[in-house]
Amino acid sequence: MADKVDVVVVGLGVGGEETAGRLAQTGLSVVGVESRLVGGECPYYGCIPSKMMIRAANLIAETRRVPGMAGTSSVEPDWAPVARRIREEATDTWNDKVAVDRLVNKGATVIKERATITGPNTVSAGGREYEASRGLVIATGTIPAVPPIEGLAGTPYWTNREAIEVETLPATLVVLGGGAIGMELTQVFARFGVQVTVVEGAEQVLSMEEPESGVLAREALERDGVTFRTGSHAKQIGYADDTFTITLADGSSVSGEKLLVATGRRIATDDLGLDKLGLDPKARRIEVDEHVRAGDKVWAIGDVTGVGVFTHNAMYQADIAVRDILQEADAPTASYHAMPRVTFTDPEIGAVGMTEKQAREAGLNVRTGLTQIPASTRGWIHKAGNEGFIKLIADADRGVLVGATSAGPTGGEVLSALALAVHAAVPVHSLRQMIYAYPTFHRAIGEALKEL
């Protein structure tokens, strides 16, 4: 006989943990099921450890910028303290006891087993079955999407997980994929002395962002010694004598001691039993409505919904799900028109809302404004490492911004003002009347507005 509970949360990544914890704190009986690490990809293999790596790599770059600005300098990169910090400060050597205890202390029951959905309101895990009267929340996240390239299967390739765990760096590395994850890890390893080659099938890296972003990122990484092979897909992969050889579609080849596959992610719902909920188990995402409902008494949050593979989106959707499950009178509904995202390369590339291409494809009357950070007073003062730009995308008919990119030394932070403008549909006229503090990087927003 099934155990009766209020809510079952399948998947305890950042969104699932938030949902289970908050519901349990209200007094509901909540069972959270997770076969991997409680807390998810972000604290163990993504956001947190990768930004520790980036912080270390950026310190190396800043030290190298001293000559001509503040005297002389030299730096000898050492990966050991980076790896140690990831083990000891970020991941507890990939042990989730702290996260499990945090949830249990909030009143939730945590089951470290694989879940199987057995019916509309029932989940089997750890040899027991649970029936949820209030509902079921699916938050199983994503796993690396490994392309079916001939010869790849069975080789000791890396995904983001192996790249985060590495304690001794290779001399050479090939990275498949020029998206955000690939670019961030590429720059880190290059700044620590690894010879990196990036293979990207599209003509530009960061192809989902503005073309200017791709150009900026490529030029920055080329200065770090990275080699790019764009516009040609990997066709075949061989591995022999501790070396990967990647044959490209154009007939050329590249080789490296290690191979990092960073070609995207897919939802982790294999054999979960989505069909028991009337959902397509082969779909690339779980479709949800504005309440993040995927069906009757079923909610889905985070990466599985396909609305950006971002921790902040998982937390955003978790809040909507919690308040909907609790039937709060003022429960919010989801809106993704101002989704922010940051690629933490140096320079940082922050973006929100639509790109120019997306806005034009949507049929909007588009106007753009662009200004370069080095042309701003703060950029001129900053000098070494001041590359970047502000690009604004406006719907001329409505007189509001629908998208923006902020790239530069603090691109992700400057983005906050632009994210607010897009989210609240602040009239461009009002943005032009604002007082922008001098001399700041964000003052360049005012200059970009003049170009609209």
pLDDT over 90 percentage in the chain: 99
Reduced to 3 states (helix: H, G, I; strand: E, B; else coil), residue 314 is helix
One-character DSSP codes across 160-229: HHHHHH-SS--SEEEEE--SHHHHHHHHHHHHTT-EEEEEESSSSSSTTS-HHHHHHHHHHHHHTT-EEE
**pLDDT at position 239:** 98
Mean pLDDT of the chain: 97
Largest CA distance in the chain: 74
Region 146-161: mean pLDDT is 97
Distances, alpha carbon 79 to alpha carbons 169, 193, 279, in Å: 7, 10, 45
Determine the pLDDT at residue 222.
98
- The tokens describing 147, both together, are 């392309």
Q: Which amino acid is at 325?
A: I
- Best CA proximity match to 214, nearest among 389, 422, 449: 389
How far is CA 57 from each of CA 50, 77, 161, 194, 385, rounded to the nearest angstrom? Answer: 10, 9, 18, 12, 14
Please say if the pLDDT value at position 178 is more than 90.
yes
At 158, the pLDDT band (50, 70, 90 cuts) reads very high
What is the per-residue pLDDT for 72? Answer: 98
Give the Cα separation of 205 and 330 in Å (integer).
42
Query: pLDDT tens for residues 358-404?
Result: 999 999 999 999 999 999 999 999 999 999 999 999 999 999 999 99
DSSP state of 427: B
CB distance 418 to 404 below 8 Å: yes
- 208 or 1: which carries more pLDDT confidence? 208
- Flag whether pLDDT at 1 surpasses 90: no
The enclosing H or E element of 125 equals strand 122-125
Per-residue pLDDT, 36: 97
Give the pair of three-digit tokens for residue 33. 């099921």
Nearest CA among 140, 186, 145, 166 for reference residue 87? 166
Mean pLDDT of 414-433: 98
List, for residues 306-346, the tens digit of each pLDDT value. Answer: 998 999 999 999 999 999 999 999 999 999 999 999 999 99
Q: Are 53 and 86 in contact (CB under 8 A)?
A: yes
- Other Cβ atoms within 10 Å of 98 Cβ, number: 11
- Write out the DSSP string of 67-98: BTTTB-------SHHHHHHIIIIIITTT--HH
Residue 127's pLDDT band, with cuts at 50, 70 and 90, is very high
CA angle 234–147–236, rounded 5-degree value? 35
**Helices 311-325/14-25 angle, 10° precision:** 30
CB atoms within 10 A of CB 157: 20
For residue 413, give both structure tokens: 């932070």
Q: What is the pLDDT of residue 156?
A: 98
Residues near 65 by beta carbon (within 8 Å), at least 6 away in sequence: 384, 385
Tell me what the mean pLDDT of segment 196-210 comes to: 97
447 CB-near residues (< 8 Å, 6+ apart): 371, 375, 376, 390
Contacts of 176 (CB under 8 A, 6+ apart): 147, 182, 199, 234, 246, 259, 260, 261, 262, 263
User: Can you tell me the distance from the alpha carbon of 27 to that of 58, in angstroms, rounded to the nearest whole number?
Assistant: 45
Report pLDDT for 418. Answer: 98
Mean pLDDT in residue range 265-273: 96
- The radius of gyration of the chain's CA atoms, rounded to the nearest angstrom, is 23
104 within 8 A of 97, measured Cβ to Cβ:
no
pLDDT reported for residue 308? 86
pLDDT at 452 (0 to 100): 93
